[in-house]
Chains A and B, each alone.
With several copies, the nearest count.
Chain A
Amino acid sequence: MQVYEVFRREREGGPMQHAGNLLAPDAELARHYAREFYGRRQESVRLWIVPRSAILDLDDPDLLQPPFDRSFKKPAGYSTEIKAKLAAARARAGEGEVR
């Protein structure tokens, strides 16, 4: 069984918002179960179902500069590894060192 994250749109024109996640053995049943958990009351007009493994997660406070300091949230060394990757990507994008 794999974890699938589910996003839903409540009414036309509204944003796709993360609603929760579920377990399913494959994509087809994941679609059915997403419909059940976030659509059995006709409460959604659209669903996006994504295997959690396909999500690139970026939540390092050093890199996103959120409006508050949460540095305690990140174990030491986490941001240095991500920073190195981003530096490499920036180099490939030909932007050189920014700021």
Chain B
Amino acid sequence: VNQFDPETTQALKHLLLATADDEFVIGYWDSEWTGIAPVLEEDVAFASLAQDEIGHAQALYQLLANLEGRGDPDTIAYGRPPEGYRHARLLDHPRTDWAFSVARRFLYDTADAARLDALAGSSYEPLAGVVAKMRREERYHLLHMHAWVERLATGGEEPRARLAAALERLWPDALCVLDGIDGDGVLAEAGVLAEPMAAIRRRWLAGLAPELARLGLPAPPAAPTGACRGPGRSDDFRWLWEQLTMVRRSDPEAVW
């Protein structure tokens, strides 16, 4: 039985796909640091964060497959052309350098936390269940990324300059993590989301403002501009897509 009308169900599918793709793509980008991070101890920690996101993506793709009554997490995750992915523009950037990855991770995890807060009491029970687990695992992400932003911001001229430059570059795209969801108003009315995306975004930015001010870090621009979640994708993401689908495309009937 489907508890929502067709329009709300369509918006819910779009929300699930967009959120799952966010987790999937950042999980892939950040897994590139595995084996080459600045210090062995941090290498192991950052690899855990990336693995967690892949686990979250898997759970969200499963919800989408259940809702659509077909497919499975692997076919959804790996079975589309680059233009078929709905992740936020923030995740179209490559790994770049450590300060860039820390800044992106910080912006993403804090935005994701605001999104998860807005989904915690969701009227779509299966999603509320997955979100409850995600919020527990995201606590460590937030602890770790706040710790890193604090250390880069106060760690001397070079770390601070690199962090500030990365935040300056990423802010416009970071706003897209809490934008570009067609039908978010309908989802709020149906209680799937606690409030529309624009309100969640304001709550996220208000939450960050004191820390950014205390550390003297760049503040966000007014509002996102341009397409937030494709279909146009960066060359960097197309390179990543080539990598993550390479083995599957090499033998379509194969079993992996």
A–B in direct contact per CB < 8 Å: yes
Hey, which bits of chain A sit against chain B, CB under 8 A?
Answer: 22-25, 28-29, 32-33, 35-37, 40, 60, 62-63, 66-70
* 15 CB-based A-B contacts, threshold 8 Å: A23-B41, A32-B143, A35-B140, A36-B44, A37-B44, A40-B44, A62-B136, A62-B137, A63-B140, A66-B137, A66-B140, A67-B136, A67-B137, A68-B137, A69-B55
Hey, which bits of chain B sit against chain A, CB under 8 A?
Answer: 39, 41-42, 44-45, 48, 52, 55-56, 59, 133, 136-137, 139-140, 143-144, 147, 151
Instruction: Give chain A residues whose Cβ lies under 8 Å from the Cβ of B136.
Output: 62, 66-67
If over half of A's interface residues share one DSSP class (helix, strand or loop), that class is named, otherwise mixed; here it is mixed
Taking the nearest CB of chain A, how far is it from the CB of B214, in angstroms? 17
A24 adjacent to B41 (CB under 8 Å):
yes
A62 adjacent to B139 (CB under 8 Å):
yes
Expressed in whole angstroms, the Cα–Cα distance for A60 and B56 within the complex equals 20
Expressed in whole angstroms, the Cα–Cα distance for A68 and B56 within the complex equals 8
Expressed in whole angstroms, the Cα–Cα distance for A29 and B44 within the complex equals 12
A67 adjacent to B133 (CB under 8 Å):
yes
CB within 8 A of A36: which of B48, B59, B133, B143?
B48
Taking the nearest CB of chain B, how far is it from the CB of A37, in angstroms? 7
Instruction: Give chain A residues whose Cβ lies under 8 Å from the Cβ of B139.
Output: 60, 62-63
Instruction: Give chain A residues whose Cβ lies under 8 Å from the Cβ of B52.
Output: 66, 68
Closest to B137 in A: A66
Expressed in whole angstroms, the Cα–Cα distance for A81 and B42 within the complex equals 33
Taking the nearest CB of chain B, how far is it from the CB of A44, in angstroms? 14
Taking the nearest CB of chain A, how far is it from the CB of B41, in angstroms? 4
Closest to A73 in B: B51
Interface pairs A-B: 10 shortest CB-CB: A67-B133, A33-B41, A62-B136, A68-B55, A36-B44, A36-B45, A66-B137, A62-B139, A63-B140, A28-B147
Closest to B43 in A: A36
Given A29-B41, A36-B41, A62-B136, 8 new contacts (CB under 8 A): A24-B41, A25-B151, A32-B143, A33-B44, A62-B139, A66-B136, A67-B137, A70-B55
Interface centre among A33, A63, A68 (most CB of B within 10 A): A68
Expressed in whole angstroms, the Cα–Cα distance for A36 and B143 within the complex equals 13
CB within 8 A of A33: which of B45, B140, B143?
B45
Closest to A40 in B: B48
Interface centre among B41, B55, B143, B147 (most CB of A within 10 A): B41
A68 adjacent to B133 (CB under 8 Å):
yes
Taking the nearest CB of chain A, how far is it from the CB of B19, in angstroms? 15
Taking the nearest CB of chain A, how far is it from the CB of B138, in angstroms? 9
B45 adjacent to A32 (CB under 8 Å):
yes
Closest to B139 in A: A62
Closest to B134 in A: A68
Expressed in whole angstroms, the Cα–Cα distance for A37 and B59 within the complex equals 25
Expressed in whole angstroms, the Cα–Cα distance for A59 and B91 within the complex equals 33
Expressed in whole angstroms, the Cα–Cα distance for A60 and B137 within the complex equals 11
Instruction: Give chain B residues whose Cβ lies under 8 Å from the Cβ of A35.
Output: 140
Expressed in whole angstroms, the Cα–Cα distance for A47 and B154 within the complex equals 29
Taking the nearest CB of chain A, how far is it from the CB of B14, in angstroms? 24
Expressed in whole angstroms, the Cα–Cα distance for A23 and B41 within the complex equals 7
Expressed in whole angstroms, the Cα–Cα distance for A28 and B145 within the complex equals 12
